[in-house]
Amino acid sequence: MAIEGERGMQQQEIQEILKKQREFFKSGRTRDPAFRSEQLRLLGRAVELHEKEIMEALHRDLGKPPFEAYSAEVGYVRRELDYALKHLRTWTKARKVSTPLINFPGSSFIFPEPYGVALIIGPWNYPFQLLFSPLIGAIAAGNCAILKPSEVAPATSAAMAALIGAHFDPSFIAVAEGDAETARLLLEEKFDYLFFTGGAAVGRIVMQAAARHLTPLTLELGGKNPCIVEKDAPLEATARKIAWGKFMNAGQLCVAPDYLLVHKSVKDIMVEHLSAAIRKFYGDNPLKSPDYARIVNEKHFLRLSALLGNGKILFGGTTDPASRFIAPTLLGGVSWGDAVMQEEIFGPILPILEYENLNEVICLLSEKPKPLALYFFSQNRALQERIIRETSSGGICINETVSHLISANLPFGGVGESGLGAYHGQASFTTFSHMKSVLRKGFFPDLPLKYPPYRKSLGLIRTLLKYFS
């Protein structure tokens, strides 16, 4: 079912679907691991049946090449589904942990239980993956869910609403299409869990809404992800990896390298290798490349076009307003005070700055908001360890970009202004589960020393707590 998302939508519509989902959750059906597996398999079949429509919608909204649309959206979700189905039985089992002797005889368990009804708000840049991937975690953990796709990617929003509406009971999973007003109305209601992917400004609004109801939440935000290149890095291979991570989806990726810090001694040759990599990927005229995406709408096109006026264009810089095309662009001569260095770029513009000593880079990063991702290129293991230990970010790739997202064994999330909480693989299940502590004991023996009057029990309890905890 899709909830109509036009401006002025009545709060009553949202309240009605929330009521039905709460009743569905209270029925206990979602607590059964067999039901969860069945619903995940149903989601997999639905994705397979609607793959063509999803791929076409992604191309209409963002000009996504088929390879990127499948590998980073449809194929990614299918792989997450397979992983969840493979491990769900293990995840849902109560996990026994050791019990201190002070609680003898007894046994202790950690029991994962669903929160209830979750609200999942997705972004526009990877509209399918970043809505359906957390949905997999919500279903696996036994929750009902309302999905709010981004209206900035309207074709994909409609395709996802059609998919869910055709295959799922709206009392279990529903889609609420609409603009910011729809999101506002949703956030006025009390949910049992909130999951938001998007920018920090809206993330603060979501967190304020969660605070009103003391609702637990996950925030997947973004930030200015630094990419550092040391002088010992193999520059040609490094350039390929950076150009790939930066310019996929026309740079509209929350973990894309946002700016490049290159050792002064290799800066010029690095620019040459980056330029060559871009030409190899997209040809001499990327406007005609079938492998290069487009900017999502005119608003973002105009914002990014204005940033091209910062510094000096070293490569690229061409635009086509009619098709919302901005070429892969390298910027030099930028300063930290320029607009391009003040905000997350979220587009195909890569500012390049130089440094002389890694110490100054580490010091600089410590003074800036913590990014969602950090990339470091060097063959020196000691320098790699320094970056890992002395910087803070949601995640790090050493000698690679973006690919840490691929592993279901690596939780993905931000820190500080780049986010709160994590998901992917088992972390998705954990995110949407309350880990309930359970202590089971019998009635005997029942030590009298823990009950008043305490009299001379203090010394004994000190000993017991010291040696038998």
Which residues have a catalytic role annotated?
220, 254
Residues 455, 166 contacting (CB under 8 angstroms)? no
For residues 240 and 270, give the distance between their C-alpha atoms in angstroms, rounded to a whole number.
11
**In angstroms, what CA-CA distances link 205 with 197, 199, 370?**
12, 10, 20
Q: Which residues contact 20 (CB under 8 A, 6 or more apart)?
A: 170, 171
Residue among 303, 395, 291 at smallest CA distance from 349? 303
d(CA 39, CA 25): 14
Cβ of 443: how many Cβ atoms within 10 Å?
5
Helices (H), 317-395: 358-366, 381-390
Q: What is the largest CA-CA distance in the chain?
A: 88
3-state helix, strand, coil in the chain (%, to 5): 50, 20, 35
On whether the CB atoms of residues 110 and 439 are closer than 8 A, the answer is no
What is the dihedral sign for C-alpha 309, 263, 231, 247?
A: negative
Collapsed DSSP state (helix, strand, coil) of residue 287: helix
Please say whether the beta carbons of 291 and 67 come within 8 A.
yes
User: Under a CB-based contact definition with an 8 Å cutoff, are residues 59 and 69 in contact?
Assistant: yes
CA distance 133 to 9: 27
CA-only gyration radius of the chain, Å = 25
Please say whether the beta carbons of 439 and 108 come within 8 A: yes
Q: Concatenate the DSSP letters of all residues of 231-264 into one string.
A: TTS-HHHHHHHHHHHHHGGGG--TTS--EEEEEG
Q: Give me the torsion for CA of 12, 18, 19, 24, rounded to 10°.
A: 150
How far is residue 245's CA from residue 248's CA, in Å, rounded to a whole number? 6
Residue 221's Cα: distance from chain center in Å? 7
Beta-carbon contacts of 462 under 8 Å, excluding residues fewer than 6 positions away, are none
CB count, 10 Å around CB of 28? 10
Residue 402 sits at the vertex; the CA angle it makes with 88 and 378, to the nearest 5 degrees, is: 125
